[in-house]
Amino acid sequence: MVKQVYESLRETTEQLATRTPALGELAVDTDKDVVVVGDGETKGGIPSAREDRAFTLDGDTIYYPDSYTGWDDLRFPFTQAKRGSNLKPDFDEDNVGLLFPQNNANEKIFIIGQLPHEYKYGTDIHVHVHWLQEQAAFPTWVFEYKVIEIGSAPPALFTQTTANDGAITYTSGSIHQLTELATIDGSAIDSVSAIVLMRFWRDDNDVTGDVTAWELDFHYQYDSVGSGTEYAK
């Protein structure tokens, strides 16, 4: 019995791209860490798929590769937020945002959000506000929230956080500023479509006059293409 031993070549992606591997020839792409199989026709050969970089099917849900978790924004523009019974804060038509007043904590907005089906169970949610900074001082933003999963009772109390800083160093003029408001603990979230109830306002005497704010958003992680069934993944 004759045994044939094939020696796999180790080449970079650039090196492989310069030639056409023979039919059945194996090579290792050292840049991509994959085996390339020659068919005698395809320049560079045909790369094989790595299991740790392949989509997986769990039940009816398609998950991204284990090595990949993405980030996305869930946005709540203040042009769509609900103002209180006093119809405040006022609207800034020039800058298309809400005007949060100095030294008045009664002008609040109310927001309802829902986590998307692609949300990665058990991961934290980072909450930010986007606003217009026009002077060196920072306003104090107040954010409250409740997370309610389907089939669960709403928490008795809101969780409250405050922030009075910015992610961008202010020098002069008017700039788009971002403030990190909170990190919502997601360790107990293990279902799709959780509802988040939110309240937001300004409470300070540090910045003179009104401050225009545009949007509140969640930075969240995702690991699947939606969910395979309507109410679960």
Residues 129-167: pLDDT tens digits?
Answer: 999 999 999 999 999 999 999 999 999 999 999 999 999
Average pLDDT over residues 47-75: 70
Average pLDDT over residues 74-91: 88
CA 80/CA 67 separation, integer angstroms? 36
CA 200/CA 187 separation, integer angstroms? 24
Q: Which two tokens stand for residue 220?
A: 């969240």
pLDDT category at 101 given cuts 50, 70, 90 is very high
Report yes or no on 62 lying in a domain. no
**Which residues constitute the domain of residue 39?**
9-48
Q: Which two tokens stand for residue 86?
A: 């006093």
74 has pLDDT over 90: no
CA 64/CA 12 separation, integer angstroms? 26
Nearest to 120 by CA among 184, 165, 182, 186: 186
Q: Percent of the chain scored above 90 by pLDDT?
A: 58
172 and 206 share one domain = yes
- For the whole model, what pTM was predicted? 0.74
Please answer whether residues 164 and 181 qualify as being in contact, where contact means their C-beta atoms are separated by less than 8 angstroms: no
8 has pLDDT over 70: no
Amino acid (one-letter) located at 102: Q
83 and 119 share one domain = yes
CA 200/CA 159 separation, integer angstroms? 12
80 and 28 share one domain = no
Report yes or no on 2 lying in a domain. no
How many other C-beta atoms can be found within 10 angstroms of the C-beta atom of residue 60?
A: 11
Q: Provide the domain count of the chain.
A: 2
3-state helix, strand, coil in the chain (%, to 5): 5, 40, 55
212 and 102 share one domain = yes
Q: What is the pLDDT of residue 59?
A: 65
38 and 103 share one domain = no
163 and 113 share one domain = yes
Nearest to 97 by CA among 78, 76, 75, 74: 78
30 and 135 share one domain = no
| CATH classification at residue 170 | 2.60.120.260
Look at the block and give the residue holding tokens 């994959």.
Answer: 34
CA distances from 215 to 53, 112, 147, 181 (A): 35, 13, 19, 12
pLDDT category at 84 given cuts 50, 70, 90 is confident
